[in-house]
Chains A and B, each alone.
Chain A
Amino acid sequence: MQIKGTELFVKALKCEGVDTLFGYPGSYDMDILDSLYMRNDIEVILPRHEQGLIHAADGYARSTGKTGVCLVTSGPGATNLITGIATANYDSVPLVCFTGQVPSNLIGNDAFQEVDIIGITRPISKYGIIVRHRKDLGRIIKEAFYIAASGRPGPVVVDLPKDIMIAIGDDLYPDKVSIRGYRPNTSVHTGQLKKVIELLKTSRRPLLLIGGGVHRSDAGTQLTKLVNQMKVPVVTTIMGKGTVDTGHPLYIGNLGMHGLYGANMAVNHCDLLISIGTRFNDRITGKLDTFASHAKIVHIDIDPASISKNIKVDVPIVSDAKTAIESLLEMTESYEQKEWIYKINCWKAEQPLSIPEKEGLLPQEIIRHINTLFDDAIIVTDVGQHQMWAAGHLHLDNRKKLLTSGGLGTMGFGLPAAIGARLGNPNKQVICICGDGGVQMNIQELATASAYELPIIICIFNNSYLGMVRQWQQLFYDKRYASTCIRKNRNCPLQCKGPGPHCPEYSPDFIRLAESYGAFGIRVNHANGIRKAFGQAMSNHKAPTIIEFIIDSEELVLPMVKGGQSLEDMILDC
């Protein structure tokens, strides 16, 4: 049958099982949106900005395991996706981003709203392609969905010139794909796994290091079984947190720049480090020379390019995390090393991640309340101090998930990602934790949350600062708070050494702002107001609630390893 390109597009979405699409209209995607009008099988979500749109699709994908689908127009619509594409690329999130494009005959003419989005996104996407012929449309969409979700998942950009989408052509949508340059590994090399077993047999201080890849392959249950069977302690990256119940006796904590003391010590003293699904980012390794310097290192990752990129690996294994873990489950036994576990428990007890004993509304205390008040929730963070407090203090298990922008560290991610998470999980409580800086980067999405009646609880940790940078200024730049004070106005002195009674009023008033968007707003100044505020927020079933927590302006994220230092050189207290 002969049909329009837009009709084949809809057919493709149906075949791919897409029921939610994040779309924003413009001249060159309006034909596609028109073909989705008045359908009840594919819901089109209209965010307020394309950056919010793609983060929402990202949050949807991370929280459901499905592929997030974006549809935007050409030019500015497409370029507004860029930060979101890079965010998803770093954190291996499957997205298919459809961008409208000027008609083929105008490409290259500097036409209105024409940009080379495939060229622009080439280094930050998994794959990008423009459809040049109507006959290729079905195949290209099929390949896009396949590439986005398989292997190491990632964002794929498909550029759709207007003339292609309105052209008549065949209605064929392929069942299968065959891409000769792309054959992701689906098995695991048993010989390499046997080497791991040999190392485990002789190791006195074995340690598992788990990254976000284990979440992506949904292997938390299998990993927990493996930990129980092998009795090997576990540290996680921020992206890997929650793969094993954080209350598990063998779970130590996150490692890295703001990792737990015990976790960092364990890494630098282990003699065997088995890492799964992490690329040894500089934020977790600290100084490379001292990172796990006594250990044989096993690296299991689906992406061959991630192996031996940052650190030298003794046993490289290219495999999907779940496949490797399931094979290890069949091959391993107990390798319990009581002395080693005792040593780790001593480190944990020596410097636990505790709530500081001081007056005021402490961010750690807010997170403790989230731990006790919610046992089935998706917690989404933005980027900054609040993210590190959350990553450290949150208790996670298989019912509580953490979504966060780990690789790119994208401020503005939290609120829209929380929207996507709630749209994908309508029965889950979604809590967004953000700073007062980051939330303003995509604050317009509060309108989206209100419009779709999403009862997200948005916790703004307001310290009137861009706090993470301020922390560095506080510790390493002699309190020269250059461009990090959100209260600063034109009347402030050139030199400011910190907050005081003469500081200008904070703007915006988040409570009134919430109300103007049709959301609820609660301000909390004291620790004794935390529980009540969450109680009120939970009773709002059809609208988002902002809880603005006024926290101490100069509270620090501790412990901390200064950039480029050894993981053991931790600043524990200030």
Chain B
Amino acid sequence: MTKRWISLYVENQIGVLAKISGLFSGKSYNLESLTVGPTGDETVSRATIGLLSDDATFEQVKKQLNRCIEVITVVDLTNTATLIKELMFIKIINCTPERKTQLFQIAQTYQVSVADFGKNSLVLECVLTESENNRLIELLYSLFGECEVVRGGSVAIEALHK
């Protein structure tokens, strides 16, 4: 099983997201993340899909996506130089002043920003890769116990220099 990335151009129509996600669930394909948003062309949406699969299944995933009438283009980013980032917010509450200082240091080290903070709490805004976000969550869990996490799923684009 290998991590794969697909960039998908689809018709910006109602039901297309349901079609794509339904394809994955209906055919028992792994789906780690799926993000969709509009593009410069209002009739086209662009999705980034992250999944785990073997080679044969991945070929099927691409073919099945291509088979959807609403899918315009399937781009396999797996072996391409890409820029991939995921937006994540982490909220930590009930911090002591020392802990807060520690959090500011962590923010600096990880190059994430403090999006909001109060007397005893703080929100980190992280634009990192999926695995960096994973590592950060792990660290904060080990230091502070429960934190509130929301993740947006990754977006990917081909790099200029391959």
The smallest beta-carbon distance between A43 and chain B, in angstroms, is 30
- Contacts A123-B26, A304-B63, A308-B59 known; A182 to B69 CB distance under 8 Å? yes
The smallest beta-carbon distance between B77 and chain A, in angstroms, is 19
Q: Which of B14-22, B31-39, B82-90, B150-158 contacts A (4 or more CB under 8 A)?
A: B14-22
The smallest beta-carbon distance between A149 and chain B, in angstroms, is 14
A129 to B67, CA, bound (A): 16
Complex contact A304–B66 (CB within 8 A): yes
Complex contact B69–A304 (CB within 8 A): no
Q: Mark A128-157, 1 if CB is under 8 A from B, else 0.
A: 111010000000000000010000000000
Residue from A122, A179, A305 in contact with B22 in the complex, judged by beta carbons closer than 8 Å: A122
Main secondary structure of the interface of B (DSSP, over half): helix
We find that the number of chain B residues with CB closer than 8 angstroms to chain A is 22
Is B130 in the interface zone, CB < 8 Å from A?
A: no
Is B76 in the interface zone, CB < 8 Å from A?
A: no
Using CB atoms, name the residue of chain A closest to B23. A123
The smallest beta-carbon distance between B44 and chain A, in angstroms, is 9
- Between A119, A126, A182, the greatest number of chain B beta carbons within 10 A of the residue's beta carbon is seen for A182
A180 to B68, CA, bound (A): 11
A119 to B18, CA, bound (A): 8
A130 to B14, CA, bound (A): 9
Is B105 in the interface zone, CB < 8 Å from A?
A: no
Complex contact A181–B63 (CB within 8 A): no
Complex contact B67–A303 (CB within 8 A): yes
Is A512 in the interface zone, CB < 8 Å from B?
A: no
Is B159 in the interface zone, CB < 8 Å from A?
A: no
Complex contact B70–A181 (CB within 8 A): yes
Residue from A119, A182, A304, A307 in contact with B15 in the complex, judged by beta carbons closer than 8 Å: A119
Is B160 in the interface zone, CB < 8 Å from A?
A: no
Q: Mark A95-136, 1 if CB is under 8 A from B, else 0.
A: 000000000000000000000001100110011111010000
A568 to B159, CA, bound (A): 53
A95 to B56, CA, bound (A): 31
- Could you write out 8 A-B pairs with CB less than 8 Å apart? A122-B19, A123-B22, A132-B14, A179-B69, A181-B11, A181-B70, A308-B56, A312-B56
A259-310, CB < 8 A from B = 303-305, 307-309
The smallest beta-carbon distance between A389 and chain B, in angstroms, is 34
Using CB atoms, name the residue of chain B closest to A151. B67
Complex contact A122–B18 (CB within 8 A): yes
Complex contact A181–B15 (CB within 8 A): no
- Between B15, B18, B66, the greatest number of chain A beta carbons within 10 A of the residue's beta carbon is seen for B15
Q: Mark B117-147, 1 if CB is under 8 A from A, else 0.
A: 0000000000000000000000000000000
